[in-house]
Structure 1
Amino acid sequence: MGLSTMFIRKHLQERPMIKGIIFDSDGVLVNSMPFHAKAWVEVFAEYGIEVTEEDIYEIEGSNHVGVINIFFGKAGRTPEPEIYAEILEKKRAHFLENNRAEVFEGMYDCLSSLKNKFKLAVASGADRTIVTSLMDKFYPGVFDAIISGEDVENGKPDPEPYEKAIVKLGLSKDECLVVENAPLGVESAKNAGVFCVGVPTYLDESKLKEADFVVRNHSELIEYLTDLKDSSL
């Protein structure tokens, strides 16, 4: 019996039956963050603010309001109210023009098998147009609920994205599990009181130390989720 199987079965003995799994999108379901990061870097440059792609990875999961506030704040500037929509539109255009994102190998088949056992949701910090276009392309008909960065007032690390997803699924927090790849996303899940599995896609796994369990890569994540499904039979 593998380590993850032993862990999952012990976990399931200590908690109510898992009925729902909530996924972050970028970096968990789709390898899309490099294109988000590039878009943000280019757009902030238009406003005279220097941002690196690594800077974007560090705050991945925040919605556009949070991202703008963070980097304008670091530059000692206060964004005007009308600038949020303006920057969001420019960032969206950059992303959609240059996006070459691909699904992580094996994830579609994994989620398709999970759908027979669990309710599935997405809680992403990206805007609704981008999230829905990626999910429609790579995971059509898989999810019972999709929460975008535009669907919440407070993005990650606030608990609102995951709390809203839980409500949409009609479950309790103890019946759900979150899969995240970003520190702010892990913090959001834990602030919502939800068990969180981390997968270090773009950052070192030490950045996800607040997660309840960390797999090393997507191959281990698929193994974990498969064991979870089999252990719930």
Structure 2
Amino acid sequence: MLKALIFDMDGVLVDSMPFHAAAWKKAFIEMGMEIQDQDIYAIEGSNPKNGLPLLIRKARQKPEAYDFETITSIYRKEFKRVFKLKAFDGMRECLEVLKKRFLLSVVSGSDHLIVHGIVDQLFPGIFDIVVTGDDVKNSKPDPDPFLKAVKLLNVQREECIVIENAILGVEAAKKAEIYCIGIPTYLKPSQLDRADLVVGDHKQLMQHLLSLEPAHGFRV
């Protein structure tokens, strides 16, 4: 009995990951390191605390040799400078219809200020619950962010669907034992093969979501 839809933000609701990648690359260059876009996309969904060590190792350096706060500060400043706010075409309208049928949540690994800034500007009044990377100790691929959303929504895991575009996000959803739809925005579909369903693009995703029926008598 479906009651809630839980959305990742970057790459699902907004076309933002290229800007995150550019900002992280700038921060790493300033710290004397180099990473590639695909390195960043591969750890999408984790918060800086958990994701930075992985990126630093990708740059063939030791995480303990670097100050995470300094790197994160450079990243945030650069992201704010380059970011252009843009929802995927049709997403706002799709969510407005879905809100009449389901509880809606955002679960993102990005920090509180970035997530709430984007949600408040593009989707005001749409989401019942927002969980950010600052709200949990263990980020994706740990199931904690999704389990927190389920608890705050006051529903059961089997009453939810997660929509993810990231490898770590799909892994987190499956660890939380929640049905997951994968959308390969920046990755190959095969990289999201742990999802229960992988759609081809955002048009197919929205068509599928709009075809879903809520639990009998729920929000209708």
> What is the TM-score with the length of structure 2 in the denominator?
0.93
Spell out the pairing of 1:49-128 with structure 2 (5 A cutoff): 49-74=33-58, 75-79=60-64, 83-128=67-112
Matching residue's letter, 1:138: L
Find the counterpart in structure 2 of residue 8 from structure 1: none
Indicate the residue corresponding to 1:171 in structure 2. 155
Q: Secondary structure at the match of 2:26?
A: helix
User: What letter is aligned with 2:164?
Assistant: E
Percent pairwise identity: 44
- Aligned twin of 2:204: 220
- Structure 2: distance between partners of 1:87 and 1:119: 36
The farther-off stretch of 92-101 and 32-41 is 92-101
Runs (4 or more) in structure 1 with deviation over 4 Å come to 230-233
Deviation digits for residues 119-171 of structure 1 (CA, Å, limit 9, x no counterpart): 11000011111111111111111001111111111111110111111111111
CA contact (8 A) 2:183 2:202 kept: yes
CA RMSD of aligned residues (A): 1.6
Name the CA distance, whole Å, in 2 between partners of 1:84 and 1:225. Answer: 38
Correspondence 1:144 to 2:128? yes
Unpaired runs of 5+ in structure 2? none
Letter of the structure 2 residue corresponding to residue 90 of structure 1 = I
8 Å CA contact 2:19, 2:82 repeated in 1 = yes
Distance 2:197 2:15 in 1: 21
Q: How big is each residue's C-alpha offset from its partner over 1:169-212, in whole Å with a ceiling of 9 and x where there is no partner? A: 11111111100001110001001110000011011111110000
Which of 71-80 and 154-163 deviates more?
A: 71-80
AA paired with 2:114? Answer: I
Describe the SS at the equivalent of 2:142. Answer: coil
Rounded Cα–Cα distance in structure 1 between residues aligned with 2:191 and 2:21: 18
Q: Which amino acid aligns with 1:78?
A: P
**Equivalent residue in structure 2 for 1:38, among 5, 18, 22:** 22
- Aligned-pair CA distance for 1:18: 0.7
1:48 and 2:48 aligned: no
Distance in 2 between the 1:232 and 1:215 partners?
26
What is the TM-score when the length of structure 1 is the normalising length? 0.88
Per the TM alignment, residue 99 of structure 1 is displaced from its structure 2 partner at its CA by: 0.2
Where does the alignment leave 5 or more consecutive residues of structure 1 unmatched? Answer: 1-16
Aligned length: 216
Q: Secondary structure at the match of 2:212?
A: helix
